Amino acid sequence: MQNELNGVLKKASGWFHGLSHRDQLAVKALAAAVAVFLLYAMVWQPAADFRNQSKKQAESAYDDLKWMRENEGLARQLGGGSGGNKITLTEGQSLLSVVSASARTQNIELQRFEPKGDDKMNIWLDKVEFNRMMLWLENLNKTTGVSVEQISVDKTNEPGIVTARLSLTL
């Protein structure tokens, strides 16, 4: 392999030195242009793209923070849970009915639900405010004892809005 490389270099060197002075300058200028292009394409452009992407992500995070601060009062209000919003699990009530009623009081729409016996269920939420969902789950746990066994949350293109799949248990 080393011998092949030496042979190729010797041929290229012989070819280059066999050129006229003017042609050698042209080859050097072309090599410099190719080197500058490669430096731009392989270093500068990816770095600039990364910088722009990071800047957009930072702006999006700042917008989310701003939205959270603007809605802090609503979150505290929903989290406080007035006496009229309390739901208690009484004899004969199913987990599904309690979860559905609680979700309605918090303006959360259950996209799909799947009971798993008397004390477990899976629910799917689509395009719900993350903070509202978390406050609802906390309130649901405090007022009825229903807890989250498993949760999967995916962000959407809208800031603060998510889709979620939850496994709830009594």
For the chain, the three-class secondary structure string (H helix, E strand, C coil) is: CHHHHHHHHHHHHHHHHCCCHHHHHHHHHHHHHHHHHHHHHHHHHHHHHHHHHHHHHHHHHHHHHHHHHHCHHHHHHHHHCCHHHCCCCCCCCCHHHHHHHHHHHCCCCEEEEEECCCCEEEEEEEEEEHHHHHHHHHHHHHHHCCEEEEEEEEECCCCCEEEEEEEEEC
Which is it for the CA torsion 146, 152, 154, 159, positive or negative? positive
Q: What is the predicted pLDDT for the residue at 43? A: 92
pLDDT value for 32: 95
Q: What is the reported pLDDT for 57? A: 93
CB count, 10 Å around CB of 89? 16
pLDDT computed for residue 87 by the predictor: 43
> Which pLDDT does position 26 carry in this prediction?
93
pTM of the predicted model over 0.75: no
| pLDDT score for 49 | 94
pLDDT, mean of each 10-residue run, the chain (170 residues):
86 90 92 94 93 93 87 69 45 74 84 83 89 86 84 86 88
